[in-house]
A and B are shown apart, each in its own frame.
Chain A
Amino acid sequence: MIKRFLYSQKVAPYVFVLPFVLVFAIFWVYPLISSFQMSFQKITLGQEAQYIGFDNYTKLMTDKTFLKAIGNSALYMVLTLVILIPFPMLFAVLINNRLMWGREFFKSSFFFPALTSVVVAGTIFRLMFGEMDGSLMNSILALFGVGPMKFLKEHTTGMIALLALATWRWTGVNMLYFLSGLKNIPDDYYEAASIDGASSFQKFMKITVPLLKPTSIYVLTISIYAGLAMFIESMMLWNGNNSPKNIGLTIVGYLYRQGIEKNNLGYAAAVGIVLLLITMIINLTQLAFTGLFKKED
């Protein structure tokens, strides 16, 4: 009986996908539903949760700190897109070029930062961007005669530090995505283009970029999500979740502050749902524009 069940062609596929479905249901669907429910509740330590309707959401709309967190996350996301898509693509093309010298060396050294722990990297970056005269960045600035700056206390310089950390860490990863995309482009196209007299730039614009589109869409999608959900980098850079004037506060950071630090899980759940909505809307729009939902020809 068991044998027939296991060998049945109809059942087998379900058995194989079952582990995934279970993991998905337990670790994604259940928490999602439960946080949706919690976002309409007031949860107090040691007491039954009370339903309070949309109170959490109406409070969010006027919560200046939350709006600041959204602003920070959005700005960070946009700037990481601007930096972390074109440059890795360019590097990938350069490294992919046969004439390039030391390709393996560059490949591994670009990728290396992704292997270090964010905790360690964040701490090092905090020291590099320290406000003391002797910190690395201030020593460099001193060479140009610029006075010491308090990098982690001002909005612009704080964002620069965050972006520096992100760029250092993710350039190599995105570059690898693009490199694997490049491997899929047949050499014939380039040869044909060469015969027709196309310049290198034309080949890049007319062959490489369009054929990298699937990879680009993938990188774009995960970058949007990663940008909006950034948290640990900020936490490590400011040695905690409370940066001066909240310049490093992100949406997830605010969720953490409300839910974990202030024991206000209902409100934090509402923050999480808003983050989910924002991410979904941006990504679905983006995917619709880039044609992911169109039927393949």
Chain B
Amino acid sequence: MKMKKWFILLSVISLVLFMSGCGKSSNSSGGTKSVLDGGAGETATELSYWTFVELHGQHFEKMLTKWNAANPDRQIKLNVTVMPYDDMHNKLSIALQTGTGAPDIADIELGKFPDFLKGTPQLESLNDVIDPYRDTIVKSRIDLYSKDGVNYGIPTHVGAAVAFYNTDILKEAGVDYTTIKTWDDYKKAGELVYEKTGKHMGTADTSATWQASMLLAQQGSDFTDADGNPQVNSPEMVKALTLLKDLQDSNVLATVAGGQPDTEEAYGEFNSGNYASAFMPFWMMSRFTNYMSDLSGKVAIAPIPVIEEGMPRSYGGGGTGTVVTKTAKDVQLAKDFLAFAKLSEDANIEIWNTLGFDPVNMNVWTMEDVTHNPDNQFVKYFQNNPFDVLNEIKDEIKLIKSTPASPTINNVLCTVTLNEIFEDGKDVKQALDDAQAQIEQELK
């Protein structure tokens, strides 16, 4: 009898294990769903929308209410699914590959976008709905999501990179951030901060290329040449990383848990005041307000230091292109709504209000009542007004191209090369030569 009980227990266990082994994908990627009706009536068309940023859904909710009020005969209900970053892109990729299961509208992050443009993109051309707004928005942000002159994605923001300084720490060390113009100034300030407080001035990023991109943009270079071929061992790149490595060696920079400022671990490190500055695209602001509440009122925004004065002080980093898929139920409706929700002036104002992004319609940048609204959470959080800095560097925001090689370049740099340089102290030139060889091999 005892034997039998054991046998049953064992078979149940093995069954459970077997099932859990097979059901791997089901536990992590259910995502959260919500239907937004935005005051839509019975006859509204239901469209589905996938995103990996919950806040984007909130923005769409506001714009949906406006759309439904303005277009009573073309009302929409939006079915929003929020999934983790990797999950969403992977699912979307499979859905588009197989031709079933894709949503009508989806967000695709810049780093993943080239993968969706491979072969014949399974996305709708958005040229006709972008045309009416083309003059008001930053052209390079549209080009990022285009192939052969066809625009496949609508941008969310410019993503101008800026410097964020924790002035509490700087004050303790007697450093005035407004005097930091070049990397030499930054180094001196950083050495002072380390000497006085034992804290590091900034992070040496191992899992993101924001810093490398900034330094390349300052030198007028890029990860790829004019034809889109990788050139990660270019003299400019060697110079950029040598500069960062030197800052790390003099205790100005240090690696951070998580590998870069935009990670959960790093939010904690910044929030507890362990690093005095971060160089990140403008959208990092929303991370400060959401995840680093202890720093409220202690963070100032400034242009990024340059190698030599006169060099451009910013570049547009990161980004999300919103697309309409080929399998969308009502392509025209989806396209019209998307343009309304992301390109109209109203939309651009809301993008700043809700998301804290630098909108692609630069006219908004100069609307004092919008940008200096004292009730705005971002205006309240930071010491100086973010748009004062943005308008100062307005004409210096460079572009780092997104090419078919970009996902591979990013992958090699962020998993292998930057770790070798900043964690293992491998020679910069050697590490970059190895990276170039690896990238070329993978792209073959």
Contact A65 to B438, CB < 8 A, known contacts A153-B423, A260-B90: yes
B7 and A245 contact, CB distance less than 8 A: no
B441 and A63 contact, CB distance less than 8 A: yes
A153 and B269 contact, CB distance less than 8 A: no
Q: How far is it, in angstroms, between the C-alpha of A104 and the C-alpha of B223 when the chains are bound?
A: 61
B416 and A45 contact, CB distance less than 8 A: no
B300 interfacial contact with A, CB 8 Å: no
Closest CB-CB distance, B248 to chain A, in whole Å?
A: 14
Contact A130 to B265, CB < 8 A, known contacts A45-B116, A59-B444, A242-B415: yes
**Interface flags, B386-429, vs A, CB<8A=1, else 0:** 00000000000000000000011001001110011001000000
Q: How far is it, in angstroms, between the C-alpha of A246 and the C-alpha of B94 when the chains are bound?
A: 24
CB nearest neighbor in B for A153: B423
Contact A132 to B265, CB < 8 A, known contacts A45-B122, A46-B119: yes
Interface residues of A in 199-223 (CB under 8 A from B): none
Q: How far is it, in angstroms, between the C-alpha of A166 and the C-alpha of B444 when the chains are bound?
A: 36
Closest CB-CB distance, A252 to chain B, in whole Å?
A: 10
B116 and A244 contact, CB distance less than 8 A: no
CB nearest neighbor in A for B437: A64
Interface of B is mostly: helix
B118 and A263 contact, CB distance less than 8 A: yes
B442 and A119 contact, CB distance less than 8 A: no
Residues from chain B with a CB closer than 8 A to the CB of A153 are: 206, 419, 423
Counting chain B residues whose Cβ lies within 8 A of the other chain, the interface size class is 35 or more
Q: How far is it, in angstroms, between the C-alpha of A284 and the C-alpha of B442 when the chains are bound?
A: 33
Contact A183 to B3, CB < 8 A, known contacts A44-B118, A114-B17, A261-B86: yes
CB nearest neighbor in A for B417: A245
Contact A45 to B438, CB < 8 A, known contacts A119-B28, A183-B3, A244-B423: no
B90 and A244 contact, CB distance less than 8 A: no
Interface residues of A in 252-297 (CB under 8 A from B): 260-263, 265
Closest CB-CB distance, B292 to chain A, in whole Å?
A: 16
**Interface flags, B194-210, vs A, CB<8A=1, else 0:** 00000000000011000
A180 and B90 contact, CB distance less than 8 A: no
B160 interfacial contact with A, CB 8 Å: no
Closest CB-CB distance, A24 to chain B, in whole Å?
A: 13
Closest CB-CB distance, B37 to chain A, in whole Å?
A: 32
Closest CB-CB distance, B80 to chain A, in whole Å?
A: 23
Q: State the 10 A-B residue pairs at the shortest beta-carbon distance, nearest first.
A: A46-B120, A44-B119, A45-B119, A244-B419, A260-B90, A242-B415, A47-B119, A131-B257, A46-B119, A45-B118
> Using a CB–CB distance below 8 Å, which chain A residues touch chain B?
44-47, 59, 62-65, 114, 117-119, 130-132, 150, 153, 173, 176-177, 179-180, 183, 232, 240-246, 260-263, 265
* Given pairs A47-B120, A242-B414, 18 additional interface contacts (CB within 8 A): A45-B118, A46-B96, A46-B121, A47-B119, A63-B441, A63-B442, A65-B438, A65-B442, A114-B13, A173-B13, A173-B17, A177-B10, A183-B6, A244-B416, A244-B419, A245-B416, A262-B115, A263-B118
